Structure 1
Amino acid sequence: MHSLPLFHRIRGERVVVVGTGDMAAAKARLVERSGGLPCPETEAHHARIAFVALEDSRAAEAAALRLKRAGLLVNVADRPDLCDFTLPSVLDRDPVLVAVSTGGASAGLAKHLRLRLEAILPQSLGPLATALAAARDAIRARFPDGNARRRAIDTALQEGGALDPFANFEAGTVQQWLAARNATKRSEVLDFTLTSSDPEELTLRQARALGMADTVLHDPQVSEEVLVRARADAVRAALPATPPEDGLTVILRLGQITASSPARTSAK
């Protein structure tokens, strides 16, 4: 990755905006929409981040250097080489935010990717997230073990699950899920033979399984580019290894065939 993705909370905080005209006004609106307080450079000692929106490249560079010397993180419009951080194109399903970034390579590309996502992601994502937040204590009480809790949530949120994010969400759905007797997913092993170590050749099912796996057992030749498709907190181990008794285990084997062999699924 070219950057560390972060969501920075600025509600009630001053944020420096340097510049005039439409470009600076757009930055100020973004700050205000996020709960921040746009302020001039003279108040930089109260701020932690800054936006520079100046047409003159020399003036923009000079302003960026001044602000950086004052200890601020700086974004300079149309100058990714001067930026400490870049602005993604944001899809807002409050409180769900989806950010698309190209690291400053093409704001237009990020915008059009976001527009495609706008057509796919339902408006009900926000109410679903709010309901899950409100039920946090109830979820912990229903699933006191952390691993069991994560598996149950994964099962509910997966395609076709009780809380499928792409399905129509209605009030009371989270409570109905919590009351169900079979909310916890059983232990499962998925065994895949890959045709290569190119992540682009993963099937949709393989990519989804990796994203949900508690444990990934793999041939040593499987590339890191494939393995990073798994959750960051998933346990990894090289084959041969014995699948654990708990959770979803994905086994990745690297074969010498032209098509992926069918996945073996077993449940305990």
Structure 2
Amino acid sequence: MHSLPLFHRIAGQRVVVVGNGEMAEAKARLVERAGGVPCAETEAHHAKMGFVALDDPRAAEAAALRLKRLGLLVNVADRPELCDFTLPSILERGPVIIAVSTGGASAGLAKHLRLRLEKLLPQGLGALAEGLAAARERIRNRFPDGTERRRAIDEALGEGGTLDPFAQASSERIDEWLDTTAAPEGDRVLQFDIASDDPDDLTVRQARALGTADVVLHDEAISEAVLIRARADALRVPLPADPAGHDGQVLVLRRAD
């Protein structure tokens, strides 16, 4: 990855916006949309983040350096080499926020990817997120074990599941899911032979298993491009290793000859 994706909470906080005209106004509107308070450079000592929107390259670089010396994270419009962070194209469905970034390579590409996603994601996605948040304590009580709880949620939100995010009115089925869902299956071991270094060659079943496994046991020949499709917090263990020595859903990946 070229960047570490983060969502930064700025509600009620000052955010410096240096510049004037449409470009600076757009940055100020974005800050306000996220609950922040746009302010001038004179208030930079109260801020942790700043935007520079100046047409003059030298003036923009100078402003960025001044803010960085004060410890602010800085974004400079159309100057990715000066940016501590870049602005993604944003898709919003209530509390669900999807950010598409190219690291400053092409804002147009990020925008059109976001527009395609707009067509795919239902408007009710925000209601589903809000419903799950409201039911958080009920979910914890229904599935007290953390691993069991994650598996139950994964099954419900998976394709064709009771709470499939792409299905209509899935937010209306949360109570039904909690009242009728049995505890998920116990520990499982899945094994796949991987013949390619290209993650696009993974089958749907393989990709889904990678995205949900608690532990991934793998040949050292399995490419990093494939392994990074696993959950970020999944335990990776090189083979040979005994699957029985690990709890949770264990995925064994071997390199096909």
Amino acid at match of 1:254: R
- Residue 132 of structure 1 deviates from its aligned partner by 0.5
Residues 141-152 of structure 1 aligned to structure 2 (within 5 Å): 141-152=141-152
**Residue in 2 that maps onto 1:224:** 224
Summarize the Cα distance change of 1:171–1:213 in structure 2 as closer, same or farther, 3 Å threshold: closer
How big is each residue's C-alpha offset from its partner over 1:122-172, in whole Å with a ceiling of 9 and x where there is no partner?
A: 111100000110111111111111111111111111111111111112554
CA contact (8 A) 2:162 2:170 kept: no
For the residues of structure 1 that align with 2:187 and 2:59, how far apart are their CA atoms? 61
| 2:243 aligned counterpart, secondary structure | coil
Q: Which moved more, 1:194-203 or 1:220-229?
A: 194-203
Q: Which residue of 2 aligns with 1:251?
A: 252
Q: Confirm or deny: 8 A CA contact 2:213 2:249 kept in the other structure.
A: yes
Instruction: Describe how 1:125-136 pairs up with structure 2 within 5 A.
Output: 125-136=125-136
Q: For the aligned residues, what is the CA RMSD? A: 1.5
Corresponding residue of 1:263:
none
d(CA) in 2 for partners of 1:243, 1:170: 35
- 1:37 corresponds to: 37
1:120/1:65 CA distance change after superposition, 3 Å? same
Q: Which amino acid aligns with 1:145?
A: D
Corresponding residue for residue 98 of structure 1: 98
TM-score normalised by length of structure 1? 0.91
Offset, 1:175: 1.4
Amino acid at match of 1:216: V
Is the partner of 1:85 in helix, strand or coil?
Answer: coil
**One-letter amino acid matched to 2:249:** L
- Counterpart for residue 110 of structure 1: 110
- In structure 2, relative to structure 1, the CA distance for the partners of 1:181 and 1:116 (3 Å cut) is closer
Tell me the equivalent position of 2:203.
203
Contact 1:177/1:183 (<8 A) preserved: no
Kept after mapping to 1: 8 A contact 2:54/2:60: yes
Q: Decide whether aligned partners of structure 1 residues 185 and 174 sit closer, same or farther in structure 2, where only a CA change above 3 A counts.
A: farther
Give per-residue Cα distances to partners, 1:196-239, cap 9 Å, x unaligned.
Answer: 22323222322222011112121121122211110012122223
Q: Any idea what SS the aligned residue of 1:117 has?
A: helix
Q: For residues 92 and 28 of structure 1, what CA distance do their matches in structure 2 show?
A: 18
Give structure 2 stretches of 5+ with no counterpart: none
Equivalents in 2 of 1:145, 1:132: separation in Å?
Answer: 17
Quote the residue 1:52 is aligned against.
52
CA distance in 2, matches of 1:181, 1:54: 56
Could you state the TM-score of these two structures normalised by the residue count of structure 2? 0.95
The secondary structure found in structure 2 opposite 1:52 is: strand
CA separation of 1:9 and 1:175: change in aligned 2, threshold 3 A: same
Taking a change above 3 Å as real, the CA distance of residues 78 and 198 of structure 1, as seen in their structure-2 partners, is: same
* Cα pair distance change 1:155/1:211, threshold 3 Å: same
Q: For 1:126 and 1:165, locate their aligned partners in 2 and report how far apart those are by CA, in whole Å.
A: 10
Aligned: 1:157 with 2:157:
yes
CA deviation after TM superposition for structure 1 residue 94, in Å: 1.4
Distance 1:247 1:178 in 2: 22
CA gap of 1:141–1:116, structure 2 versus 1, over 3 A, is same
- Hey, what does 2:17 align to over in structure 1? 17
Identity of aligned residues (%): 69
Letter in 2 for 1:24: A
Asked if the contact 1:197–1:254 (Cα under 8 Å) also holds between the matched residues in 2, the reply is no
